[in-house]
Amino acid sequence: MKQLIFSITLCFFLIQTDANAQLFGKKKRQKEKSQTEKKKGDFKNYNEIIKGDVKSDQGLFTTHEIDDKLYYEIPFAYLETDLLLVSRIVKLPDNFGGGYINAGSKVNEQVVRWHKRDKNIDLKVISFENESDEDSPIYKSVEANNFFPILYSSKIEAVNPDSTAYLVDVTSLFTDEVSAINAMPERLRKAYKVKRLDKSRSYIASAKSFPQNVEIQHLMTYDAGDPPGRDQAGTISMLLNQSMILLPEDKMQPRLADDRVGWFTIQKYDYNSDKLKSDDYELIRRWRLVPKDIEAYKRGELVEPVKPIVYYLDPATPEKWRPYFIQGIQDWNVAFEEAGFKNAIIAKEAPTKEEDPEFSPEDVRYSVVRYVATTTRNAVGPSVSDPRTGEIIESDIIWYHNHLRSYRNRYMIEAGAQKESARTLETPEEEIGEMMRMVIAHEVGHALGLPHNMKASSAYPTDSLRSATFTQKYGLTPSIMDYARVNYVAQPEDEGVRYIRMMGPYDKYSVNWGYRYIPEAESKEDEKPILDEWILDKAGNSWYEFGSGYGVADPRANRESLGDDHVKASEYGLANLKKVVPNLVKWTAEEGQDYAELAEVYRELGYMWSGYIRHVYDNVGGVYETRKTANQKGAVYEHVPKDIQKGAVEFLNEHAFTNHEWLLNREILQRIEDDGAIERVKSLQTRTLSNLLDEDRMIRMIENESFNGSEAYTVLEMMDDLRTGIFSELYRGQTVDAYRRNLQRTYIDLATNSIAELNAEEKRNDEVIISDVIPLMRAELEQLKTDIASRRYRTSDKMSRIHWNDLLARIDKAFGE
């Protein structure tokens, strides 16, 4: 049975009017011989068009530049052929898109086909999400409901001299606004008050054709009322690159995804499934690696791939950082060796103009680690893949220059108490280079198909991160794809400990699972039992578990956390921060400079403090997720044990909701601001308290009690523990300082607002809310009202009494009294 693939129509394209859309399946495409029999007399004379000062380039399509026009010769043989169209930015204004759009950013990628319609050539957008067998009855329905849209259309101008190709004017594809390939989305159009595309200042800059791809660069200029950056011309100009690459007719064998092992995927829907629905499944995105010597590979020898993965360094990369970038790329060879390949990934310096005048970072044939000179503090690892099979065709790793600053600051904050080399704004090259190396390795991991595995960091025992032997061998986490950048658990007395993340056992496992060549399997279905067996072999070992950290309540899948005991890890982290804060003035001082660096590092230290607190409070009402299939025993979802939740609230009362004199260091504050310290602490504490009293969290706790009874940490227990901690001065008859008064007012306001919001939702939806959250909050306020009324005069401090009376008034207002 031959399989056919269909597209979901994209809403922003023109509706296709030709009902005779040719669909393709697994059988070899048949060329239309009638094309070559078309009489040239039906079109213009080729030599009347292609004449004079013509710049031509032969390749996949022969291109002709004449004055301000661009023509393609589209071979008959490549009509109805799958081509990948990749749109990228080459040059752009400063701070365009807020700094996260840069030279090399991908605008779009889509599969297209040239289609002849009478005397026209249409460029159709093809998708491969829906599929059906061409001989099945449902084929017609899938075809009718997945009509291919037309991206661009042009009249055929002529037939080339040897009657093998149509000559088509494609100028307007690159000089008009075609939404699917331009870099001005509607949100930026509104933000920059873009009025129109100025065609007089928009043009095709270059056209190059290669055997497998065509590369076009075109400049687009927009009139804008509020352009980004320091633009004074009232315009936005961008140079774009459009790559049209021939997809392989010999398709890579796809591999079925399994959510127990993390991979970027492509969604598919099979309408010929025997199930009582369309059979949806996913394919993983990966490079095609095939061993040169399959027999040696079968014997367990390490074998080089037929075509290795090659990355080029951007020529703009500073020379001193290049060795670290190369190391970061080639670090993955250790993981590929686990999959049976040697020298699977290679890093190279980009060729000079003399060595290869055709080399371009925008050419989709080349994967490049780009060094971007912007103030953005980030790095990314996107890739381009064949939607038919998941084969990754190309990727560009992007390093933003100021990301160095992020790691310098984090290293000082999280390792300054332990390492003398971290106590400076000039981090030693070897150490900042090691951090850069691991960032590049992380981004290459994305480009290989691996998503974040935020759960990995919870696998190692917390105290093992204080061991030199353990950390030097296994790193900080089983996966470099986690966010666990610096070892904040290690203490000043711990010698020889590793402080920077590195590749771990999960990375080797996942690469083996996704890239190992299985010669005995002739289809993706044949592979599945083998892949399942590899997963089951590691089942129950937390080092090999996957958790994305997105959309789940699992506290183990938390970014920047370390170790299996969040309370202990955060206590270690806070102990280090308390040693760092008194030294920040000295460590950040630069002769002749102001205190901007101090202010920046101090601000980021506050964020990290907040992160340590978040790692703990996420355990309250948390639910562990262990991904399993039906043939595996045990639950997928389990509530966090009672003692861990209760211990988390005790930690919060001790470390989050107290007076942070250590954080409010006078030597720092007097140098960076004239006020704002109280408000800063209030903001940090309010965020923590608001998250702790989140409705979804409380609902999970209520469900836990209904399932597990006395073994559950109940909402009432949590509220009692929280109240006695936050209002400890009330129960002890003590004076309340300004910071605690702020916190206690926030507690009352959050409870009040929660009731008001839920009541408003009830009225808006005209329904009865059955959640226990409203009565719980009401009961909490009533309890506080009783306690405050009976205890408010146990202190002689006038300001404290005023505060207690104010809280009573706030509670009365909440009840409408």
Which helix (H) or strand (E) segment is 322 a member of?
Answer: helix 322-330
The CA–CA distances, whole Å, from 686 to 610, 613, 681, 747, 775 equal: 11, 12, 8, 8, 22
Whole-number CA gyration radius for the chain: 31
Within 13 Å of residue 702, how many CA atoms lie on the same side as its CB?
A: 14
Cβ atoms of residues 698 and 717 within 8 Å: no
Residue whose C-alpha is closest to residue 57's, from 206, 219, 163 = 206
Calculated CA dihedral for residues 723, 725, 726, 730, nearest 10 degrees:
80
Cβ atoms of residues 110 and 180 within 8 Å: yes
Cβ atoms of residues 484 and 562 within 8 Å: yes
Distance from CA of residue 324 to its chain's centroid? 23
The CA–CA distances, whole Å, from 41 to 154, 170, 216, 671 equal: 18, 22, 31, 83
Cβ atoms of residues 124 and 151 within 8 Å: yes
Predicted local confidence at residue 25, as pLDDT: 35
Dist CA 436 CA 434 (whole Å): 5
The structure tokens 């789940």 sit at 552
Q: Work out whether strand 309-313 and strand 279-284 pair parallel, antiparallel, or are unpaired.
A: unpaired
- DSSP letter for each residue of 631-690: TS-S-SEEEPPHHHHHHHHHHHHHHTSS--TTTS-HHHHHHH-SS-HHHHHHHHHHHHHH
Q: Work out whether strand 637-639 and strand 623-625 pair parallel, antiparallel, or are unpaired.
A: antiparallel
The structure tokens 């009541």 sit at 759
Dist CA 425 CA 434 (whole Å): 16
Dist CA 86 CA 383 (whole Å): 11
Predicted local confidence at residue 21, as pLDDT: 34
Dist CA 489 CA 573 (whole Å): 6
Sign of the Cα torsion 471, 477, 479, 485 reads negative
Give me the count of residues in the chain: 817
Dist CA 384 CA 387 (whole Å): 9
Instruction: Tell me how crowded residue 319 is: count the other CB atoms within 10 A of its CB.
Output: 8
The structure tokens 């836990």 sit at 704
| Numbers of helices and strands, H then E, in the chain | 24, 24
Burial of 618 by CB count in 10 Å (0-12 exposed, 13-18 middle, 19+ buried)? buried
Dist CA 741 CA 37 (whole Å): 88
Q: Work out whether strand 367-372 and strand 392-400 pair parallel, antiparallel, or are unpaired.
A: parallel
Burial of 254 by CB count in 10 Å (0-12 exposed, 13-18 middle, 19+ buried)? buried
Cβ atoms of residues 489 and 462 within 8 Å: yes
Amino acid found at 786: T
Dist CA 68 CA 736 (whole Å): 76
Sign of the Cα torsion 135, 138, 141, 142 reads negative
- Paired tokens of 438: 């691991």
- DSSP letter for each residue of 34-66: GGGGS-GGGS--HHHHS-SSEEEE-SSSEEEEE
Within 13 Å of residue 110, how many CA atoms lie on the same side as its CB?
A: 24
- What does the domain layout of the chain look like in residue ranges? 3-246, 294-551, 663-814
Residue whose C-alpha is closest to residue 677's, from 698, 696, 697, 663 = 663
Calculated CA dihedral for residues 570, 575, 579, 584, nearest 10 degrees:
20
Predicted local confidence at residue 403, as pLDDT: 86
The CA–CA distances, whole Å, from 247 to 211, 214, 696 equal: 12, 12, 47
The CA–CA distances, whole Å, from 421 to 217, 427, 475 equal: 46, 7, 20
Burial of 223 by CB count in 10 Å (0-12 exposed, 13-18 middle, 19+ buried)? middle
Question: What percent of the chain is predicted at pLDDT more than 90?
Answer: 67
Residue whose C-alpha is closest to residue 106's, from 289, 370, 315, 403 = 370
Question: Rounded to a whole number, what is the distance in angstroms from the first to the last CA of the chain?
Answer: 75
Low-confidence ranges of the chain (pLDDT < 70): 1-41, 99-100, 129-147, 229-232, 270-279, 758-771, 817
Predicted local confidence at residue 69, as pLDDT: 95
Predicted local confidence at residue 229, as pLDDT: 67
The CA–CA distances, whole Å, from 415 to 70, 172, 338, 494, 572 equal: 58, 56, 33, 12, 12
- Paired tokens of 355: 């060595």
Strand, coil or helix: 755: helix
Which helix (H) or strand (E) segment is 623 a member of?
Answer: strand 623-625
